[in-house]
Structure 1
Amino acid sequence: MKSLKLATVGTVLFSTLLLSGVGHVSAAPGPIPANRDTNAQVKFIEDESPTDPTDPTDPDPTDPVKPVDPTDPEKPVEPGTNGPLSLDYASSLDFGEQLISNKNHSYFAKPKFLRGADGEIDTKNPVPNYAQVTDKRGGEKGWALSVKQNGQFKSVKESRELVGAEITFNNGEVASASSSKAPSTVKKSFSLKADGTGVAENVMAASKGEGFGTWVYRSGDVSTMAESIELSVPGATVKDADTYKTTLTWTLTDVPGNTEPETPGN
C-alpha cells in the first residue's frame, strides 16, 4: 500500500513539474526588423470664402493686395464673390482728363496702382489693369470669363452720348502661381460694342483639366500696360465740357471654355 501511495505522489509531482514549465523549449523569435502598417488620411472640402485681389504681375494668393480705384482712391476694395468658384476683382478704367478736339484721338486707360504695406498708394510701381478669377472647387472642372459694355459713354450733366467712342483691349494675357494647366482660351485683343448688346465671350476660359487656383487676365505687362486699353473717339463727335461715363460687366460662369486656344487678335 505504501509503495502505491509513493508512486501516486511521484506521478503528481512529475505532472506538476511539466505544467510549471520546467524543461519547456522556447519558440523561435519573430523576424527583426518587425513591421506594422497604420493609416493616415486627409479630406478636402470646398472653400466658400472670398479670395482677395493679388498683384497681377505676381498673382500669389498668399500675398493679397489692395488695388486703388482710379476715380475714387479712398473707396474700399469691394470683396469678390463668395463660393469655391469666384470672380475676385475687375479694374475700373480711367482714360484721364483730355482736351476737347475735333480730330480723331485715342486715349489710354491709366495703369493700376496698389497700396503698399504702409497703406499708402504706391505710385512708383503701377501694374496692369486686370480681372481675377479663383477656382477652388477641385478637379479642374473649367470655367469662362466674359465682359460687356452697358451702353455708350454719356455725359454726367446732360446724358449726351459720346457717339462712335469704342473701347479696345490689347495685349491680353494670363498669369498665375498655380501649377494647373493655364486656361486655353485667352483673347489677346477685342473691342466692346457700345450699344450694350455685345459680349466678348470667353475673354479668358479654362477647359476641363485647366484653370485650378487663382488666375488673372491682365492687359499687358509692365512694358505695355500704359497703352493696352484704348478708347478711340471720332473727331466729328460733339463733346461737352463734362465727364462721360459707362459701365462694364464682367461675368464668370462654370461652363468650361473651348478646347482650342484663341489665336492673337481673336
Structure 2
Amino acid sequence: MKRVMTSLTLCTVVLSGLALTAHAAPDTPDARQSKTEADITFEPGGGEVIVPTKDPNPDPNDPRTPDPDPHVYNPAEPGQKGPLRFTYVPNISFGKTALIAQTQNYYANYMNRPYTKEDGTKVEAGIYPTFFTVEDVRGGAKGWTVKVKNSGEFTNSSNEKINATLWFKKPNVRSGTFSDGSTSGDAQKPSYLTGLADGNYFNISTDSDVTLVQAKVGQGYGKWSVGYGSTKEEDKTTGYGLDGNVQIPAGTQNPTIDMAKKGKNSGIKLEVPAQVINTDGDKATYKSTLEWTISNEPGPA
C-alpha cells in the first residue's frame, strides 16, 4: 500500500510543476507593420538593342524549337524592327527537278534551322515547315495583320520570265510566349487564319496583298510562329505519281519513286503551267519576290 501512495504523490508534483511553468510564460508583444512599394515602368520593346530569342516551331507534332539565328535578323528591313515586327521571314525553295512539258505541281523543300537537344548537343540542320514569326511587344494586346504579295512571275538571270502560282495550305500557329495548352495562350492565339478546310490550298500569287493571319484586339501579344506544312512522315510527299504527292496504293509492287520529289513539304506547292522554260546553266534558276507586310491593323472582332 505504501508503494502505491508514493507513486501518486510523484504524479501530483509533476503536474503541479507543469501548471507553474505555463503561468510563467511572457505575454506576446504587439505586432506593428510598415509598408513600402516596389515599382517598374514599362515601355514598348523592339528598341536599338534586341536579344534574339527562339522562334517557336509551329508544327504541332514536333517539340523541337530552332535556335535563334542572328543571320536572319536584318534591322535594315522595316518589317524586322520596332515593337511590332517579324523576327523571321522565310525564303521558299522548290529545289531542282526534271522539266515536264505539261502543267506540274512542285512542292517546297523543308527549311533548315539549327537547334539544340535537351542534352546540349547542337544539330546544324534540323528540318522545319515553312514559317514566319511575329513579335508584338507594344504592350497590351492591340491586334495585328500579316499579308503577303507575290506576282506569280519568276525570272532567270537572262530576264526570261515564266508564270507560276504559289499555293499555301491552312497554317498552324504556336506561341513562344505562352506554354502550349495554357488558358492565356489560347486566348491570345490569333483567331483569323486564311485558308479553307484543312488540307485545301489558297492562292497567294494574285499580284495583290493576301491576308495570311490576323490577331484581333485582345490577341497576339508576344511571339507567334505561323507555319505551313508538317514534318510528320504522312505529310511529306511520297515521290509517287506525276506530282510526286500521290499515296502509293496498298499492295503496289515496286512502285516507281522519283527521289527528287520525295520527302517534300506538302504544305506549300508551286503550280507551273506548260510553257517554254530554259534549262541552260544559271538560266535554269527562276526566282520571284514575296513581300511580307505586318501592320497594326487588328483582325475582325
Q: Distance in 1 between matches of 2:140 and 2:288?
A: 38
The corresponding residue for 2:165 is: 166
Letter in 1 for 2:215: A
1:34 and 1:63, CA in 2 relative to 1: closer, same or farther beyond 3 A?
farther
The corresponding residue for 1:82 is: 81
Letter in 2 for 1:113: N
Does the 8 A contact of 1:108 with 1:229 survive in 2? yes
1:145 and 1:51, CA in 2 relative to 1: closer, same or farther beyond 3 A?
farther
Q: Percent identity?
A: 27
Q: Which moved more, 1:95-104 or 1:138-147?
A: 95-104
Please list the CA deviations of residues 115-172 of structure 1 after superposition, one character each: whole Å capped at 9, or x if unmatched.
Answer: 245998633x301111111000111011100000145012222x22223x11001141
Q: Distance in 2 between matches of 1:121 and 1:78?
A: 20
Letter in 1 for 2:290: L
The corresponding residue for 2:109 is: 110
Q: Distance in 2 between matches of 1:40 and 1:101?
A: 69
1:221 and 1:37, CA in 2 relative to 1: closer, same or farther beyond 3 A?
same
Does the 8 A contact of 1:108 with 1:227 survive in 2? yes
Please list the CA deviations of residues 176-232 of structure 1 after superposition, one character each: whole Å capped at 9, or x if unmatched.
Answer: 1334511111123421225x3x2112x111111000000111012322371111001
The corresponding residue for 1:143 is: 144
Q: Distance in 2 between matches of 1:122 and 1:66?
A: 11
Q: TM-score, normalised by structure 1?
A: 0.71
1:186 to 186, 190, 193: 193
More helix by share: 2
Q: TM-score, normalised by structure 2?
A: 0.64
The corresponding residue for 1:200 is: 210
The corresponding residue for 1:240 is: 278
Q: Distance in 2 between matches of 1:130 and 1:63?
A: 12
Give the number of aligned pairs.
Answer: 215
Q: In the alignment, is residue 249 of structure 1 matched against residue 288 of structure 2? A: no
Q: Distance in 2 between matches of 1:130 and 1:154?
A: 24
Gap runs ≥5 in structure 2: 1-26, 179-184, 196-200, 237-264
2:266 to 212, 218, 227: 227
Does the 8 A contact of 1:144 with 1:256 survive in 2? yes
Q: Distance in 1 between matches of 2:220 and 2:100?
A: 44
RMSD of aligned Cα (Å):
3.0
Q: Following TM superposition, by how much is the alpha carbon of 1:35 offset from its aligned partner in structure 2, in angstroms?
A: 2.2
Q: Following TM superposition, by how much is the alpha carbon of 1:65 offset from its aligned partner in structure 2, in angstroms?
A: 2.3
1:91 and 1:121, CA in 2 relative to 1: closer, same or farther beyond 3 A?
farther
Q: Distance in 2 between matches of 1:239 and 1:109?
A: 19
Does the 8 A contact of 1:153 with 1:246 survive in 2? yes
Gap runs ≥5 in structure 1: 1-28, 68-75, 260-266
Q: Distance in 1 between matches of 2:123 and 2:93?
A: 16
Q: Distance in 1 between matches of 2:45 and 2:67?
A: 17
